[in-house]
Amino acid sequence: MNRRKFIQNTALTSAGIAAGVAGISCKEVENKTQDTEEKIIASSSKPNYISISTWNTESANTASGELLAQGKPALDAIIEGVAVEEANEKNTTVGIGATPDREGNVTLDACVMSPDGDYGAVLAVENIVHVAALARKVMEETPHVIMASKGAEEFAYSQGFKKEKLLTPASEKAWKEWLKTSDYQPAINVENHDTIGMLAMDASGEIAGVCTTSGLGYKMKGRVGDSPIIGSGLFVDNEVGAAVATGMGEEVLKTVGSFLVVELMRNGMSPQKACEEAIHRIVKRGDRYKDFQVAYIAMNKNGETGNYAIHPGFTMMKYQDGKSENIISDYYNKA
């Protein structure tokens, strides 16, 4: 018996019994059966593979999605996917060309989590473009999970990473312009690009996640945000799902946001509801949310996804079964 037939027969039998008990007609039974069948099929329509990422990061997410389509593991797909934007000089929030700290140093943060629940991160690294790949090296080639600053940079060279100048003429010019006022007020949405958080489920159903960023533009020297911190910027539990954050890292850290989203999904919430609840945890801490943006994206083991932000302007890229779309996120601040 094929699956559709099985679902139909199962639904018919239960609906028939229910009709006998409730005293309703055969036609009504048939209609109810169709409803039930559609609901069962909808809830079990898991994508073959899926990649989602924060903001309008189409090139990175499509690169990941296409690798998944070729049957590549989720972990490889996301690292190669974000590498596309890390190498893009025009992207001012990741890799080469990223906005520096207020002293002109470009320092990058990244982390990765595997389907096995392993994790690796690098904090405040200079001169290395592909910090997501470096975080993977920390995870796979060292007994540690986090490496910071100079030590992480030296480890990168030992692994064959090249030394590169991350401050481009354009980012240097923008920094010098900023120095004229030195006004540190992170914009609610940094237009077009931002931290790239990416989650993927491969054809075997395995989930992995990554986050790569230069953090907040013109931050204090040494400042590290949520992005490379397990449970805050990113969390993956291959039995449940995964979540990743973007926006004001200080606020995500205080609520351990990505872990919270995954735990809410573990307790039965959809990815969408879980993202909404994690945002509510932030906004209920007081009116300060009016001045900063935070957004989450999430996926569960069934390939269902969710996204939610404090303010309008956030979008999520989704590549699923050969199709790429940019989804405009719902948000809390409708005032």
| Interaction site with ligand SD4 (CB under 6 A) | 194-195, 213, 215-216, 225-227, 246-249
Q: Is 225 annotated as contributing to ligand binding?
A: yes
From the CB of 163, what's the least distance to ligand SD4, in Å? 23
Is the Cβ of residue 7 or residue 260 nearer to ligand SD4 in the bound state?
260
- How many degrees, rounded to 5, is the angle at CA 104 between CA 100 and CA 107? 45
Q: What are 126's two structure tokens?
A: 């200079």
CA gap 329, 316 in Å, rounded: 7
Pick between residue 153 and residue 251 the one whose CB is nearest to ligand SD4.
Answer: 251
C-alpha distances out from residue 6 to 11, 16, 48, 136, Å: 8, 15, 22, 44
Maximum Cα interatomic distance, the chain, rounded to a whole number of Å: 80
Instruction: Check whether 138 is labelled as a binding-site residue.
Output: no
268 is in an annotated binding site: no
Write down the least CB distance from residue 226 to ligand SD4, Å. 5
Cβ proximity to ligand SD4: between 223 and 266 the closer is: 223
Whose Cβ is closer to ligand SD4: residue 199's or residue 248's? 248
Q: Has 29 been labeled as part of a binding site?
A: no
- The answer to whether the annotation marks 330 as part of a ligand binding site is no
Q: In whole angstroms, how close is the CB of 281 to ligand SD4 at the nearest point? A: 16
Q: Give Rg (Cα) of the chain.
A: 22
Give Cα separations from 193 to 95, 106, 135, 209, 318 (angstroms): 12, 16, 21, 18, 15
Consult the annotation and say whether 226 binds a ligand: yes
Q: Which is nearer to ligand SD4, 77 or 248 (CB)?
A: 248
Q: Is 195 marked active-site? A: yes
Q: Closest separation between CB of residue 125 and ligand SD4, Å? A: 13
Q: How many Cα atoms are found within 13 Å in the side-chain-facing hemisphere of 325?
A: 8
In angstroms, the CA 117 to CA 69 distance is: 23
Question: Residues, the chain, total?
Answer: 335
Q: Residue 253 CB, nearest distance to ligand SD4 (Å)?
A: 8
Q: Cα 134 to the chain's mean position, in Å?
A: 18
Tokens (6 digits) for 26:
């055969």
Name the active-site residue from 195, 212, 255, 315. Answer: 195
Annotated binding-site members for substrate: 223-226, 246-249
Residues classed as catalytic: 195
